Chain A
Amino acid sequence: MPTRLFLVTAACLTLAACGILTPDGPSPEELLDGTIEGMTPSQERQHIAGDEEFARRFGVADGLGPIFVATSCEQCHVGDGKGHPTFTLFRFGRETASGFDPMVTAGGPQLQHRSIPGYPPEEIPAGVTGVSGFLPPAVSGLGFLDAVDDATLIALADPTDLDGDGISGRLQIHAPSELIETVLALEARGSPDPGARGTLVNGGYIGRFGKKALTVNLLHQTVGAYLEDMGVTSDLLPEDLFNPAAGSRASDDAPDPEVSSSTVANVVFYLKTLRAPSRREADHPEVLAGEQTFSDIGCAGCHVPTLTTGRSEITVLDQVEFHPYTDLLLHDMGPELDDGYTEGSAATSEWRTPPLWGIGIQQNFQGGSAFFLHDGRATSLREAIELHGGEAADSRDDFLALSPQDQERLLRFLRSL
């Protein structure tokens, strides 16, 4: 008997050792992380280094804060997906006679409602006329969007609706600043076509990332997120945040910059080389029918299915076709989504078209429940569609006029993304 018992035990442990009793991962279709296929070993190494930094939790000693929203990139973008409502970024400002005031002297435009021990967190100041909640977006596939040439976006824009389809996408144009010109110049270095992105358009530069297309490229987005979301300084943004209500500009005690330019570069490379989300049951007849309806009722006018990257120093991103379902342009979404807050040249009702890829598995990264639209106010795809107004009102109405079967086919298509 003892020998048999020992053999049973040994057999079980041997099975474990051989990997028989080890868990498989979810299928790639259920995940958003992972690299673009075809990278070189050195690129894989840099991606992993960026991944580790993306996951790094900052503490007080590392330079967290003094005010912040999250303690790591990954906390907002769990599994590289769209974030949970607890990490909503609240942004505020006020309308004035001379335009929208982001209330920088009062701590705007972003609320940092968390703080390190002994330091007061921010509160939304008095006099605000608009507050908007921004759920952290999914980050998979961003490298493809980053690699789209300005010329492509300029060609997609139709600010005066010349084609008469009721959709008038606008470019977000930012006035030149030292930071914008620096991030554009840094990213142009090594590019096989340095002039393809960072084009001067109407005296400014095209914004493409963020709910209102606030940032011009992934480097701009990354250093901004380090500072505004985590209170972590970098070479490009070396001054810590502080809460004006604290009555002092003193911040944390960590030496600045709190992350090196190399760290930032690794994180940017990580974001650039995250694979695009995979489709599920893309060839199913019901899904194909839903996709056709999506196009027929005009959804694809803003959620453009296919874009092509320009020249890229990363071979796997060089001139490739991809399917994000966005045009990266600003669109008027009507009063339904007008929070009275804005950024850059966008109107308060204008939002940059969010990519739809990955939307079908969004709940896997938001705690099991999906929160749609910029602030998560919709908890179902149907509700999200119903909240589309402005340029999307016709498409929304056409959707609501569809038969229940056709509506379900369209929703099934969305769930396949």
Chain B
Amino acid sequence: MRRGRVLGATIAFAALFVVSPATAQSDSTMAQDGLYQRPFIGSVASTSIGGYVEGNTNYFVEDGVSDGFSMELRRFNVFLFSQISQRIRFLSELEFEHGTEEIALETALVDFEISPAVTIRAGIILPPLGFLNQNHDSPRWDFVERPFVSTDVIPSTLSEVGAGVYGRFGAGRFLVSYDAYLTNGLGEGIVANDRGRTDIASGKSEEQFAEDNNGSPAVSARVAVRGPRLGELGVSHYRGYYNTYQVEGVDVDEARLLAITALDFGTTVGPAELRGEVAYASIDVPPGLVELFGSEQWGGHLDVVIPVWHPRFAGYDSAVLSAVLRVERVDYNFGTFSSTDEAIRDDVTAVVPGVSFRPTPSTVFRANYRYHWTRDFPGNPAAHTAGLQLGLATYF
């Protein structure tokens, strides 16, 4: 019965893709442009202010039980940009999440451009891990939620204090970009946290903006290639010790390494715009937590966005209605029980069909139907969750 419902919904949306008459918009920018390719930034010579706001409704049912309907103002982010001189610029992003429940300085960086191939960056940066972390602005996405892999395996939005270099250069018909940074990295909390599982995002802390907890910087780097018919293909890696293993020069624990490798891509196939990200994380878990806290996680998502209608009304000449579909999966504990030799589960698989409507490129209305299959740690029968989300996100 359940399978039939999901299948029905999926087929309905798949039909939209098959009969789609329109063409996806192409995007010639690269992932590392994400910070500056924002509306209202760079259009003024000195300092500019911009930002975005994002809100949505939630109605979910898990195994027949619902908490009902609710609304949330998820994010209100303010950008501050300043072209200090011809080759020096400043950018910051202040985030208010759920009203004022969570306030964070997400970005505050200075770029010094030596040449297009070499720009030095320092401050609170967004490590170049995958695509979404540097391109997380909600109005860019046709889905209400970020992909699980991009928030859980890659803990977007991941912002850290550090410095590094980025740039791009041509190679025949291809454009190659690179980013490389040293940052304070993630801290304690990845394990033995109140999530009860390895949770890389719990390694983020305010203290890391002031001081590295172990004096050993994390390294992050991404190389991407953009070419005709290829779209953009990026490979990125992040590694660093996350625990406090030295205090006043004395070893108090083993140094424990976190390493995340991601592959991301974005391209167009016919009318469809495809974007995906796959990430694998390896976490050195203390012996007293092995198995309970996973030492390996992986996940991935594939988004398909197909414009189906370009209505022209009320002066909106670039309005577009798109059919969208996301499939995604994350395994939070990729391993085997020593007691039974059976696979540890703790995973989630989701299908998200929906529609998005953009009256302008900067504003998106979204309607998503989500269906999750969640398997718990021992691997008991999956919990089924489904629901509807309506959302709005716009730059201002």
- Residue of B20, B64, B66, B243 with highest tally of chain A CB at under 10 A: B64
Cα(A12)–Cα(B321), bound, Å: 16
Q: Using known A-B contacts A25-B63, A78-B380, determine if residue A17 contacts B388 with beta carbons closer than 8 Å.
A: yes
Binary A-proximity of B272-309 (CB < 8 A = 1, otherwise 0): 00000000000000111101100000000000000011
Q: What per-residue 1/0 map shows which CB atoms of A65-95 lie under 8 Å from chain B?
A: 1010011100100110000111010000000
On whether the beta carbons of A9 and B16 are closer than 8 Å, the reply is yes
State which residues 104-118 of A face B: CB under 8 Å: 113-118
What are the residues of chain A within 8 A of B309 when measuring CB–CB?
2, 5-6
Looking at the complex, which one of A15, A17, A64, A364 makes contact with B381 (CB distance below 8 Å)?
A364
State whether the Cβ of A322 lies closer than 8 Å to any Cβ in chain B.
no
Is A61 in the interface zone, CB < 8 Å from B? yes
A62–B252 touching, CB < 8 Å: no
Q: Is A185 at the interface (CB under 8 A from chain B)? A: no
Residue of A nearest to B292 (CB): A114
- Give bound CA distance, A71 to B196, whole Å: 6
- Say whether B337 faces chain A, with CB atoms less than 8 Å apart: yes
- Does A279 reach chain B (CB closer than 8 Å)? no
Q: How far is the CA of A295 from the CA of B59 in the complex (A)?
A: 50
Most buried by B among A11, A84, A115: A84
Report A-chain residues with C-beta under 8 Å of the C-beta of B1. Answer: 24
Q: A1-B19, A24-B63, A115-B288 are in contact. Are A367 and B378 (CB under 8 A)?
A: yes
* Chain B nearest Cβ from A139, distance in angstroms: 15
The answer to whether A8 touches B15, judged by C-beta atoms less than 8 angstroms apart, is yes
- The smallest C-beta distance from B357 to any residue of chain A, in angstroms, reads 9
Verify if B340 is at the interface (C-beta below 8 Å from A). yes
Asked if B337 and A86 make an inter-chain contact with CB atoms under 8 angstroms apart, the answer reads yes
Q: Establish whether residues A367 and B323, one from each chain, have CB atoms under 8 Å apart when the complex forms.
A: no
Contact with B342, one of A5, A67, A114, A369 (Cβ below 8 angstroms): A369
B195 within 8 A of A: yes
List A contacts of B9 (CB < 8 A).
12, 15-16, 21
Whether A121 sits at the interface, judged by CB under 8 Å, is yes
Contact B339 A13, beta carbon cutoff 8 Å: no
Which of chain B's residues have a CB closer than 8 A to the CB of A365? 378, 380
CB pair A12 B13 closer than 8 Å: yes
Stretch of B74-82, B100-108, B186-194 on the interface side: B186-194
Chain B residue with minimal CB distance to A14? B388
Pairwise interchain contact A6-B378, C-beta atoms closer than 8 A:
no
| Majority-rule SS of A interface residues | loop
Determine if A117 and B193 form an interchain contact, defined as CB atoms under 8 angstroms apart: no
Please classify how large the interface on chain B is, using the bins under 10, 10 to 19, 20 to 34, 35 or more. 35 or more
A268 CB, min distance to chain B CBs, angstroms:
22
Per-position binary interface string of chain B over residues 352-380, scored 1 when its CB falls under 8 Å from any chain A CB and 0 otherwise:
01110000000000010101000011111
Whether, in the assembled complex, B215 has its beta carbon less than 8 Å from a beta carbon of chain A, the answer is: no
Q: Are A23 and B61 in contact (CB under 8 A)?
A: yes
Please tell me if the beta carbons of B253 and A118 are within 8 angstroms of each other in the complex: yes
The answer to whether A117 touches B289, judged by C-beta atoms less than 8 angstroms apart, is yes
Asked whether B377 lies within 8 Å of A9 as measured between CB atoms, the reply is no
The answer to whether residues A86 and B388 also contact, given A5-B323, A19-B61, A23-B64 and a CB cut-off of 8 A, is: no
Which one of A79, A85, A117, A119 has the greatest number of beta carbons of chain B within 10 Å?
Answer: A117
A22 to B196, Cβ gap below 8 A? no
Interface string of B372-396 (1 = CB under 8 A from A): 0000111111001111100000000
Whether, in the assembled complex, A59 has its beta carbon less than 8 Å from a beta carbon of chain B, the answer is yes
CB distance from A245 to the nearest CB of B (A): 12
B45 to chain A, nearest CB (A): 42
Q: How far is the CB of A113 from chain B (nearest CB, A)?
A: 8
Given contacts A13-B388, A78-B378, A118-B252, is CB(A72)–CB(B196) below 8 Å?
yes
Kindly state whether residue A366 has any CB partner on chain B within 8 Å.
Answer: yes
Known: A2-B308, A2-B321. A16 touches B386 (CB 8 A): yes
Contacts of B195 in A (CB 8 A): 57, 59
Task: List the A side residues contacting B20 at CB < 8 Å.
Answer: 5
Contact A78 B15 (CB under 8 A): no
For residue A9, which residues in chain B have a CB less than 8 angstroms away from its CB? 12-13, 16, 323, 355, 367
**Are B194's CB and A367's CB within 8 A?**
no
Q: Which residue of A lies closest to B69 (CB)?
A: A17
Q: Which residues of B contact A56 (CB under 8 A)?
A: 194
Alpha-carbon separation in the docked complex, A65 to B305 (Å): 47
Contact A22 B386 (CB under 8 A): yes
In the complex, chain A residues whose CB is within 8 Å of the CB of B16: 5, 8-9
Flag whether B311 is at the interface (Cβ < 8 A): yes
A residues near B, CB below 8 A?
Answer: 1-2, 5-6, 8-9, 11-13, 15-17, 19-26, 56-62, 64-65, 67, 70-72, 75, 78-79, 84-86, 88, 113-121, 364-369
Instruction: Offer 9 A-B interface pairs, CB within 8 angstroms, sorted by A.
Output: A1-B21, A8-B12, A8-B16, A13-B355, A23-B385, A57-B195, A58-B194, A70-B292, A365-B378
Q: 5 smallest A-B Cβ distances: which pairs?
A: A25-B64, A57-B196, A115-B288, A25-B63, A367-B378
